[in-house]
Structure 1
């Protein structure tokens, strides 16, 4: 499987707002965890930035 496919399929729950990641095989953790961290950071930034934006 391609690396991008593995990452996208494993972090989809995080993208949808869930707070867990089921991934496999364990060798994929070196790709999945940084991607999940980046998505969590984006969610946190967006949540904090909405107070600064007048929407």
Structure 2
């Protein structure tokens, strides 16, 4: 979601049987320069945290 305008920037539609956490990479907008990242608890794991830190 765009911080300034509060608009959704990317969407991934998938089957309801799939965990949405599997699609994080596909919905991240690399053009977005904000360093804030908000997600529910299901997205938190050490591997993702390291990856996000590497991206800045």
Q: TM-score, normalized by length of structure 1? A: 0.42
Q: Which has the higher relative contact order, 1 or 2, with Cα contacts under 8 A spaced 6 or more apart?
A: 1
The structure that has the greater radius of gyration is: 1
Q: TM-score, normalized by length of structure 2? A: 0.41
